[in-house]
Amino acid sequence: MKKKIGVYVCHCGGNISDYVDVEKVRQAIEDEGGVMLSKATMFACSDSNQKDMVDDIKNNDLNGVVVASCSPKLHLTTFGKVSERAGLNKYNYVHANIREQVSWAHSDDKAGATEKAIHIVRAAIAKARLAESLEPNKIVAQKSVAIIGSGVAGMKAAIALSKMDCPVFLIEREHFIGGRVSQWGAMFTTNETGKEVVTRLYNDLAMRPNVTLFTGAEVVSNAGSIGDFKLKVKITPRYIKANCNVGNLQQAIDACPVEVPDDFNFNITSRKAIYHNFPSEYPQSPVIDIKNCTRCGKCEAICENIDFSQKEEILDINVGSVLMATGFDPYTPGEGEFGYNEIDNVVTLPQFKRMIELSDKKLLFKGKEVKNIAYIYCVGSRQEEGGNTYCSRFCCTSTIHASLLAKEKFPKVHNFHFNRGIRTYGKQEVLYRNSLEQGDIYLQAYEDALPVVYRENDKTKVKINDILTHGKEMEVEADLVVLVTGMVPRAENSVGSLFKLPKGRDKFFNEIHMKLRPVETFIDGVTISGACQGPKNIMESVNSALSAATKSFSYVSKGELETEPIVAGVDAEKCTWCNACSEACPFDAISLTETGTKSIALINNSVCKGCGMCLPVCPTDALDLIAYSNNEIESMIDALAHD
Amino acid sequence: MSEQLKNTSFDALVVGGGIAGGEAALNLANNGFTVLLIEKELSIGGKMILLSKVFPTLDCAACITTPKVSEISRHPNITIYTSSEVGEINKIAENNFEATIIKKPRYVVVEDCTACQLCEQACPVSVPDQFQYNLVGRKAAFIPFSIASPKAAAIDIDNCILCGACEKVCPTNCIDFTQQTEEIQINIKTVVLATGFKLFDPLLIPRYGFGLYKNVVTSMQMERELAPTRPFNTVLRPGDGKVPDKIAYVLCTGSRDATVGNPICSQICCMYSIKQSQLLMGALPMADVTIYYINIRSFGKGFEEFYQQAKGMGVNFVKGKIGKISEKENGNLILRYEDINEGIVKEAEHDMVILSVGVLPNQDAAKLFHTDELKLGPHKFIDQVDSLISPAKTSIEGVFVAGTATGPMDIPDSILSAGAASSEAISYLIQDK
């Protein structure tokens, strides 16, 4: 059937038409074979133009459509849907990118840009001539979601999904839930403590029959894809019997001879090899740190709840979507960075927060009362080169809040803030005001001369040339130096690689589009939330967690999903199964199958992304990509090469 | 889209058709719930649809907003009333609210209007165009703006002289002066408030001379000058139409300033000013751009890098708050400020000044509720009663809040906040079943 194609060339309100002569492009292609109608439009994506397109397709019985506009990443789906509304199968729609590939790239050469645009539109028309109608592949979607990480984001997402009647597997690597927030004391804005927040969330979770919580659990492998992820979860035992009576457990803990740094308190205290996190921890049972346990048997002798016979287990979990809520690590300063690990009384912000929480009456550091505190901001954030160039967002507010708490709890404290411009954005500004009003001292460093921490006469001092006093050199004798460390991606982040999740420049997991698809990733069915996506405070993490929960729910709620029919196909005659294609496939979508007479490649349609990596490696040309067949691509190349 | 009333019962009422309200409505609708979306302006899309490009990705705002707007307006589960306001909302019981919608006449039958603009050409009345922030004029019979949704004419009855010229030229006879204000009673099960924010009015700081000196404009006016649907097709200063070459930004105009009653930070002005400075460097390669600031707050994902990029492009950042602006005879402006780095009071001459105006609360939503109190926070934004764990919850169970109605925030945060509000609303609706 001869194609009747409609072509729309978009001005993009100047984004394209400032550099490309849109009308000239339209005229150049109006007589191309198959083109029945061609129009220039201010915004192809606008509601009014979409309506016009629907009318055009219906009134002229168009069976092919080309829009030359922005990147297909932005609007391929938009115009595909326009075609469908007009009753035209969306695979007859072809997108030509003349913004990112033309007008933005060649803003210095209008004539050349126009010429290139004409060629790109011709190529799209060539493809439209050969395009065929396709039907999406339908797959069954498991109505359940796995949430990885049970910090505030993960727990909140679990509650939201549970309320939507969606079964949830909440998978936590640690033996206790609550993530980073459980480590914080009173928090801005409500002064609720981290413990209280975690307790509230846990109590809500505990009532929900459709939430299954695993602690000490790690996802170790994934097979499958959207609608049908097949996860293997490794559960490490607590070595404490379930539903044990509290009985002699405390005596068993007391009896343990092992002392190791307590990472819950960021190593400022120590704990035993059998330990609790804190009194209101969840689940409410201690755990044996088997790596550090010497198997001396003292605890076993005292308490019958201890059970060293517990074995590691591997569970199989089958879910329709995966929601990542794996959180962040606090930045660890380098040796000697602002005196870290070299000068005695230099600690990090998380350590300082634990110190406030654990100290009573007097703020003590190594037995000595702390009066002067110097806070050094942006440690591990806004680094000029090589390191973390981003701002960690939460730390200015968090530090000022902590300094106010310290002052309130220990009135003898004096706070000195060595900052690089305070960023208490939005309502958080009131904290900064309160701090100034109570007499905290703020000193701001020049960008090329950060403060220096040094020892002199047995005292720790911080020196700065202060912008706010026009460059005057100031020196503070500090009893404690607090390095305001930012957020970095989790050091142990291999779970992201299991799903092949893309990362941004900052090494955090990356969303598809900050505004259009803020919690989706390029891996279909995997959403991201909270600080694994970038620095966020609690409220912001919760907002993203709820958004991600709704998105994950939308994948699985109907029990069925449609996936793109644009996948690779195998010509059984030509295929000799050399294995080259399956090695080239980044998604493990190709396996071996027997036809009875020979071995050939088999494509798993729900895993294949249509990326085309397998095509060029096939020595017998047995593979072709639906909708991007050799025929179609060759016709596009011809159009591009033609003068 | 249906502007006609077919149903008086919906699952959710979303108040406000900006980016947050639109996102919340879409989330609800995509999960199978029916939504009534109320917008007081003639078009949905809120403030975002009027922006130029958005930070830090420099996507054009229209490219992101228009398809969303289109999806909202076409969605079978969403009913939209533009030019409409909510009169009152009363809670009868959980999952049972009654609301009164006041639908104001547009004097145009939207379904019949083809946006041919003949009425616009025929109308003899010219008034300032509020959608171009008064930079240019419009007619009393007018299409709000080229990417408006619905794209249909409207009659500005306050300024209309009832000459009938528009009626005569309209090819589809869609102009109807007999339209009346309608009051519609509806029943809903949950409410999402996405009533947005107001911009600070710089007339409240007379020493900056806004309204007096023509070359002092607001950031929203500059936004329009840079937008794809810009009024002048280039950047120029309003005083004499000259293309400026020494431009200044005055940050924290009406923010972090207790003297004007707004002690908090507006969260977006640093970034939109940096964005505009980058766009200006592109539009006017020879121009100097200076940003006068207290602190630069580039805190979000990719924001700090965006700030560094502006520095790299040659934008001049000066730490110091502007004390006073005065005008020279040639329309240039003298800015008096303390240069904090050097500790001296200085004066600088610029030929155009942009006031980076801040975000103020829209307090209208609080007046809608009579049976229960919708609490406002200390800064008069809608109070988030459980701000850490359930940021979308308000003082009324079943009423949720999204976007800048809770406080200043940028577009990505507004969208996530709308995601949270719709998630809570969906949970609230499902638990009733």
A190 → closest Cβ in B149, B308, B387 = B387
With an 8 Å Cβ cutoff, are B427 and A160 in contact?
A: yes
First to last CA, chain B: 27
Question: What number is the average pLDDT over the span A162-191?
Answer: 93
pLDDT in tens, A184-235: 999 988 889 999 999 999 999 999 999 999 999 999 999 888 999 999 999 9
Could A393 and B296 be called an inter-chain contact, meaning their C-beta atoms sit closer than 8 Å?
Answer: no
Residues 159-218 (B) with a CB less than 8 A from some CB of A = none
Calpha distance B368→B105 (Å, rounded): 21
Q: Note the pLDDT of residue A250.
A: 85
Q: Which residues of A touch B57 (CB under 8 A)?
A: 514-515
Read out DSSP for B93-145? Answer: ETTEEEEEEEE---SB-TTT-----HHHHH---EEE-GGGTTSSEEESEE-S-
CA dihedral B238, B243, B246, B252 (to 10 degrees): 40
For the segment B386-403, the average pLDDT, to the nearest whole number, is 97
Q: What is the mean pLDDT of chain A?
A: 93
CA dihedral A53, A57, A58, A64 (to 10 degrees): -150
Distance CA B334, CA B351 (A): 9
Q: Return the residue matching tokens 């923010």.
A: B255
- Is the predicted pLDDT of residue A507 greater than 90, yes or no? yes
- Percentage of chain B modeled with pLDDT above 70: 98
Q: What is the pLDDT of residues A348-357, one digit of tens each?
A: 999 999 999 9
Chain A contact set for B64 (CB, 8 A):
74, 515-516
Determine the pLDDT at residue A246.
67
Summarize pLDDT for A52-70 with one digit per residue, the tens.
Answer: 999 999 999 999 999 999 9
Q: What is the pLDDT of residue A162?
A: 96
User: Which residue from B minimizes the CA distance to A50?
Assistant: B70
The pLDDT, as a whole number, for residue A223 is 85
CB atoms B389 and A390 under 8 Å: no
A426: left (phi over 0), alpha (psi -120 to 50) or beta: left
Condensed to tens digits (0 to 9), the pLDDT of residues B188-240 reads 999 999 999 999 999 999 999 999 999 999 999 999 999 988 899 899 999 99
| Residue B301 Cα, gap to closest chain A Cα (Å) | 7
pLDDT for A1 equals: 65
Question: Taking 80 as the threshold, does the pLDDT of residue B252 lie above it?
Answer: yes
The pLDDT score that the predictor gives to residue A587 is: 79
Q: How close is the nearest chain A Cα to the Cα of B54, in Å? A: 10
If we measure between CA atoms, which residue out of A136, A133, A173 comes closest to residue A154?
A173
Categorize the per-residue pLDDT at A73 as very low, low, confident or very high, splitting at 50, 70 and 90: confident
Which chain B residues are Cβ-neighbours of A190 within 8 angstroms? 386-388
Count the Cβ atoms, other than its own, within 10 Å of residue A430: 17
Tell whether the model's pLDDT for residue A342 goes beyond 70.
yes
Cα dihedral A141, A142, A144, A147 sign = negative
By three-state DSSP, how is residue A248 classified? coil
Contact B412 A518 (CB under 8 A): yes
Query: Could you count the other beta carbons within 10 Å of the beta carbon of residue A335?
Result: 7
Confidence band, pLDDT 50/70/90 cuts, at residue A386: low
Residue in chain B nearest A153 by alpha carbon: B389
A515 Cα to chain B: minimum distance (Å): 5
> Rounded CA gap, A223 and A587, in Å?
10
How close, in Å, is residue A505 to chain B by CA atoms? 9
Q: pLDDT grade, residue B2 (50/70/90)?
A: very low
State yes or no: pLDDT of B1 exceeds 80: no
Tokens coding B55: 């930070």
Q: Which residue has the higher pLDDT, A248 or A10?
A: A10
Paired strand residues for A228 = A225
pLDDT in tens, A131-168: 999 999 888 999 999 999 999 999 999 999 999 999 99
All residues of chain B having their beta carbon less than 8 Å from the beta carbon of residue A548 are 419
Residue B146 φ/ψ, nearest 5 degrees: -65, -25
User: Helix, strand, or coil here: B170?
Assistant: coil
Instruction: Please state the pTM of the whole predicted model.
Output: 0.91
Q: B9 touching A, CB under 8 A?
A: no
Q: How far apart are CA B111 and CA B103, in angstroms?
A: 16
Using a CB-CB cut-off of 8 Å, the residues of chain B touching A557 are: 31
Residue of A nearest to B293 (CA): A421
What DSSP designation does A101 have?
I
Q: Is the pLDDT of residue B4 over 60?
A: no
CB contact under 8 A, A46 and B31: no
Q: Dmax of chain B from CA atoms?
A: 70
Residue A285's pLDDT is 87
Backbone conformation region of residue A335, classed left if phi is above 0, alpha if psi is from -120 to 50, else beta: beta
User: Closest Cα of chain B to A406: distance in Å?
Assistant: 21
> Does B111 reach chain A within 8 Å, measured CB to CB?
no
In terms of residues, how long is chain B?
A: 433
Residue A504 φ/ψ region, left for φ over 0, alpha for ψ in the -120 to 50 degree band, beta for the rest: beta
Helix (H) or strand (E) holding A547: helix A538-556
Using pLDDT thresholds of 50, 70 and 90, give the confidence band for residue B3.
very low
- Tell me how crowded residue B237 is: count the other CB atoms within 10 A of its CB: 21
**What is the bridge-based pairing of β-strands A145-148 and A472-477?**
unpaired
A47 and B70 in contact by Cβ < 8 A? yes
pLDDT value at residue B229: 83
For A464-482, how does the pLDDT look when each residue is reduced to its tens digit (9 = 90+)?
999 999 899 999 999 999 9
pLDDT at A284: 84
**Under 8 Å between Cβ of B303 and B309:** no
Q: B228 CB near a chain A CB, below 8 Å?
A: yes
A285 near A215, Cβ under 8 Å? no
pLDDT at A75: 87
Q: Which helix (H) or strand (E) holds A566?
A: none
Do the chains contact at A152 and B389, CB–CB below 8 Å? yes
Contact at 8 Å (CB) between B145 and B117?
A: no
> pLDDT tens-digit profile of B81-132?
999 999 999 999 999 999 999 999 999 999 899 889 999 999 999 999 999 9
Distance between A81 CA and the closest CA of chain B, angstroms: 10
> What pLDDT band is residue B35 in, cutting at 50, 70 and 90?
very high
